[in-house]
Structure 1
Amino acid sequence: MSIYDYKVQLEDGKEYSMSDYKGKAMLIVNTASKCGFTPQFEELEKLYEDYKEEDFVVLGFPTNQFKQEVATAQEAAQECRLNYGVTFPMHSMIQVNGAQEDPLFTYLKDHTKGFLGSSIKWNFTKFLIDKEGNIVGRYASKDKPLSLSKDIEKLL
């Protein structure tokens, strides 16, 4: 299986295939709108704006697994748009660990065990994917999005 075999849902529940992003570099992030790292949305949006014309996309996946998210995916996306100007795709509320975890995140974790361990420790864990669908980096919550610029530029 590859990352392109997974289906995900946008915040409005519309399902699509990750294969829609073939040929694009991706930064996949588990997000929360009530977290100490929430201001990272500003830098995530800056990365998206800076590189989207070069086939790069940021994908936000809200989770309340760490009890720092609002009630629904739509509310989470609305807060991100209003407070941080987010225009990149936001998705349905998911779990990133445990029995109910989203299959995409199972795949991401299974293919990055050498990076930061097998579980996601907190909100704003970031996964960098190249244009061929290979996971090339996993970054911790404390890693600021703009610090990934050089790694992203190598993929474009």
Structure 2
Amino acid sequence: MREVPRRVLLAAPLLMATEASAQPVQSAFDFTMESLEGGPLKLADFRGRAMLVVNTASFCGFTPQYTGLQRLHDRYEARGFLVLGVPSNDFNQESRDAARIKEFCETTYGITFPMATLTSVRGPAAHPLFAWLSSRAGGPPRWNFHKYLVGRDGRSVRAFPTSTEPDSPVLTRAVEAALEGRPLV
């Protein structure tokens, strides 16, 4: 029998401990937010769907994008897609009252897609989901209505800037790719 060098024997427990303690690859579906209505908004409930996560604001020049986001949600929902709205006051253009945000979204834009409560999306106070999305797709939102498309696997992420309209060909092509399980690039 061949003798194993002493340095290999000493390193083996360290290698096994490192492998055993390695965290599984995280996905967007591992996060929970607070819903706009109150209570947990478990992204695990959306496992297997493609999601467009958008930081929103009620008093922004881009607020009319809600119309396009709702149309996008309606167009692809039956195929396993959803828009997730995340109101944020990081850019000082959102109410601090969840009930007012909910009423505004429902009465002004007829929003039916899931909405989180007022959430920080950038900086040290950013919700862990946004920190994770930012690390995977080019950084934090630079303004309201920044969009992160998450693939059905929950790991593939592509960012779209505020200026990308919800009905733009580049975004709809990416949504279709996500729904078909193709790369989001």
Normalising by structure 1, what TM-score?
0.92
| Residues 96-152 of structure 1, C-alpha deviations (whole Å, 9 max, x = no match) | 112211111000001112xxxx23210000000111112331000011011111211
Identity %: 38
1:12 aligns with 2:37: yes
Please give the secondary structure, in 2, of the residue aligned with 1:11. Answer: coil
- Once the two structures are TM-superposed, the CA of residue 80 in structure 1 deviates from its matched residue by 1.2
Q: Distance in 2 between matches of 1:16 and 1:145?
A: 23
After superposing on structure 2, the runs of 4+ consecutive aligned residues of structure 1 that deviate more than 4 Å are none
Alignment of 1:49-64 (within 5 A): 49-64=74-89
- Once the two structures are TM-superposed, the CA of residue 37 in structure 1 deviates from its matched residue by 0.2
> Is there any run of 5+ residues in structure 2 with no aligned partner, and where?
1-25, 180-185
Contact conserved, 1:62 with 1:73, CA < 8 A, in 2? Answer: no
- Once the two structures are TM-superposed, the CA of residue 79 in structure 1 deviates from its matched residue by 0.5
- Once the two structures are TM-superposed, the CA of residue 92 in structure 1 deviates from its matched residue by 0.7
C-alpha RMSD of matched pairs (Å): 1.1
Q: Which protein has greater RCO, CA pairs closer than 8 Å, 6+ apart?
A: 1
Q: Distance in 1 between matches of 2:66 and 2:163?
A: 13
> What is the aligned partner in structure 1 of residue 108 from structure 2?
83
- Once the two structures are TM-superposed, the CA of residue 86 in structure 1 deviates from its matched residue by 0.8
Please give the secondary structure, in 2, of the residue aligned with 1:60. Answer: strand
Q: Distance in 1 between matches of 2:63 and 2:76?
A: 21
Contact conserved, 2:50 with 2:81, CA < 8 A, in 1? Answer: yes
Contact conserved, 1:112 with 1:135, CA < 8 A, in 2? Answer: no
Normalising by structure 2, what TM-score?
0.79
Alignment of 1:6-155 (within 5 A): 6-113=31-138, 118-147=139-168, 148-155=171-178
Contact conserved, 2:27 with 2:153, CA < 8 A, in 1? Answer: no
